[in-house]
Amino acid sequence: PPAATSSDEEDDSDSSTKPIRSEKKKNPVSLFQTGGDPPKEKKTKKKAPPKAAKSDEETPETPQKNSNKKGKGKKSKKTKEEKPPSPVIEVDNLEEFVLRPAPQGVTIKCRVTRDKKGMDRGLYPTYYVHLDNDKKVFLLAGRKRKKSKTSNYLISIDPTDLSRGGENFIGKLRSNLMGTKFTVFDNGANPDRANADWSNVRQELSAVVYETNVLGFKGPRRMTVIIPGMNADNERVPIRPRNDNDGLLMRWQNKNMDNVIELHNKAPVWNDETQSYVLNFHGRVTHASVKNFQIVHSSDPDYIVMQFGRVADDAFTMDYNYPLCAVQAFAIALSSFDGKLACE
């Protein structure tokens, strides 16, 4: 059942019954392209959009071959309906996998669990991401740092090592003082410690902006998610700001959108019967929560880039699609847990 976003209804019986993927005139992949010419396949395959998505899905597999030999054959069998079991996702090299965009045409379904047990876990819970499949493969862990002036979450590829200096540190999420804007970095160096050609400097992977609406944070939230665009080879355009005035947030505020893509959460619809706002999560979300959201591109609101929602007190589903990677999706989800936004 779809889930309400801001009522205490456990479960809603109704929401739009639109299919999860309507046939599209435009290939969703082209929405995210900012650098260089789009791959040539698209022009020849325009006649049948579902097939195009399938054949495109094989394009990004090529650079993956080394880390993903077993997965290739299996993934390409994926049909366009959402019914068949998820394709087998092979995670050979965890560090590579969590930073690599989801393959086109494949939804990567994950589960986020929140652990509040232990001394200070009530204030600083640890969050874990696993693939939501039979194997429950561990992907990422995240926790808020204790002594930071602003909210600062470390993201690690080791569930037991959440230290900033450790080699398992893969990314971080940092908020502004207000707790309404967040930036996601990979594990590169601070610009102060740049090498001569800046190649070691951290990339910004995403930024998230929360707007209050007329109801303060009580009604549905409005989120803007800013991510780097993709180049002609379907790889993320590296954005390595040299200072705080050059990051994704500043570019977005200054409307300098070169190589930058703006996404939004899909506005929930008011449902008179349940007296609550609802979104259709196609069975992936079962509990009402103001934290439930779907991220879309305004040019194609039927293509869900990411969705996140509650399924139990401390369990959430997190599904992401091309062009997001696991670190981006997890960091966006972590931002929604942050204290200043929590208004349930």
247-274: pLDDT as tens digits: 999 999 999 999 999 999 998 888 888 7
Domain with residue 118: its CATH number is 3.20.90.10
Q: What's the pLDDT tens digit per position in 121-175?
A: 667 889 999 999 888 999 999 998 887 888 899 999 998 888 777 789 999 999 9
- Helix (H, G, I), strand (E, B), or coil: what is residue 250? helix
- Asked if 203 and 238 count as a contact pair (C-beta separation under 8 A), the reply is yes
Residue 39 counted as domain residue = no
pLDDT at 167: 82
Residue 211: partners with Cβ closer than 8 Å, 6 or more residues away: 180, 221, 222, 223, 224
Residue 77 counted as domain residue = no
Q: Which of 113-117, 226-230, 336-340 has the lowest mean pLDDT?
A: 336-340
pLDDT at 334: 94
Residue 300 counted as domain residue = yes
Unique residue bearing structure tokens 């305004």: 298
Q: Which residue segment(s) compose the domain that 263 sits in?
A: 87-337
pLDDT at 13 over 50: no
Bridge partners of residue 309, in order along the sequence: 317
Residue 28 counted as domain residue = no
Q: What are phi and psi of 151, to 5 degrees?
A: -65, 130
Q: Which of 113-117, 239-243, 275-279 has the lowest mean pLDDT?
A: 275-279
Residue 98 counted as domain residue = yes
Residue 313 counted as domain residue = yes
- At 275, is the pLDDT very low, low, confident or very high (cuts 50, 70, 90)? confident
More confident residue, 287 or 94: 94
What is the total count of domains within the chain? 1
Residue 145 counted as domain residue = yes
Residue 322 counted as domain residue = yes
